[in-house]
Chain A
């Protein structure tokens, strides 16, 4: 974002003179416009009359500071705060544009009437006004996006944490229920948290339940293999449960080596098998000896 360059001071001053003269009607008109835009109407309704009035006066003061005294700092600060506020209140950015264009529609005729006999002044004040609005909108938009981005990042982190829970369901037995789409990023974090959990809980058997995984393609299958192999390197066996008919079908169609996965129909069966392995007599326990 380029730094703020103050608009033409003379033009701004002329604009402000006209604006101040018509300020009461302008304000009334804008309030009427706001009440027709649902998101903004809600905000205004929520504010008491005195607060609106105070805000209006303060706004005029900061505008005067910028236009007349050339002190733009407070105004820019105010715009940043506004941008952040709209983002936090979930006001669509388009609504704000609607308000601005309503403002311009009324403001420009006022300027034209005031400076009709002085074309140069008129053009200067119009240029300054549009420069001011463009830059102001830029500032508000930037702040708006910043806040939105922060919200999105927070949510992504929350989802990330939720996405791969590792549960201890018994002595040396872990359960990982997988739900949703297993993409590369998630598969990686699944593998990492699984391996860490194997070490921390000294797990011997891990049950991975994929009932909630809608589709399995060769990439996902490959991820599962990798996870299973990595767990095995750490001395833990994995059992995959909850393969739906479609998933099983697509695995076979993909030509996946099914023997590499220790698959059990449902979660209950998987836990039973896990307990058998832990007791040292698992049917598919390839690293465990047959029962003596």
Chain B
């Protein structure tokens, strides 16, 4: 089942509801890349608050999605990493280098807003 990608004005919102297989993750990356190009998307929020584990493939894919969307002109934020997940990730050396993270969807949207203003300002 494809993961729903919602669009709110110029921002895409993806909520990962359950553990994903590697194939589903790769599919998600392609879907997002395609969607960003189609309409004027400036931001992307990926909510992982429902996950209680993020393995190396998943975090590499998330970093990949962030990079791809950057190249396609959208800034991305990963939100909702749970305390236990965060701790396990740093133990494994997975720090999502080069991506923005925020506490929850609300925070993520605010961060994107700040980025947008910064871009306009500069």
Contacts and interface: CB of A to CB of B under 8 A. Distances in A.
A192 B103 contact: no
Interface residues of B, number: 27
A233 B89 contact: yes
A234 B83 contact: yes
A111 interface: no
Contacts of B107: 202, 235
A61 B89 CA distance: 66
Nearest to B54: A233
Interface string B85-122: 11101110001100011110001100100110110111
Given A235-B79, A235-B107, A192 B87 contact: yes
A196 B114 contact: no
Interface in A275-292: 280, 287-290, 292
A288 B103 contact: no
Contact of A191 (B87, B102, B108, B121): B87
A289 B107 CA distance: 15
Interface in A225-268: 226-227, 229-236
B96 to A, nearest CB: 6
Chain A interface mostly = helix
Interface residues of A, number: 24
B114 A199 contact: no
A175 interface: no
B115 A232 contact: no
Contact of A232 (B101, B108, B120): B101
B108 to A, nearest CB: 8
A195 B88 CA distance: 12
Contacts of A12: none
Residue of B84, B85, B95, B117 ringed by the most chain A CB atoms within 10 A: B95
Interface string A189-217: 00110011011001010000000000000
B90 A290 contact: no
29 contacts: A192-B83, A195-B84, A202-B103, A202-B107, A226-B91, A229-B90, A229-B95, A230-B83, A230-B87, A232-B95, A233-B85, A233-B86, A233-B90, A233-B95, A233-B96, A233-B101, A234-B81, A234-B83, A234-B86, A235-B101, A235-B103, A235-B108, A235-B111, A287-B100, A287-B111, A288-B114, A289-B114, A289-B118, A292-B120
Given A230-B89, A235-B108, 4 more contacts: A229-B95, A234-B86, A235-B103, A236-B103
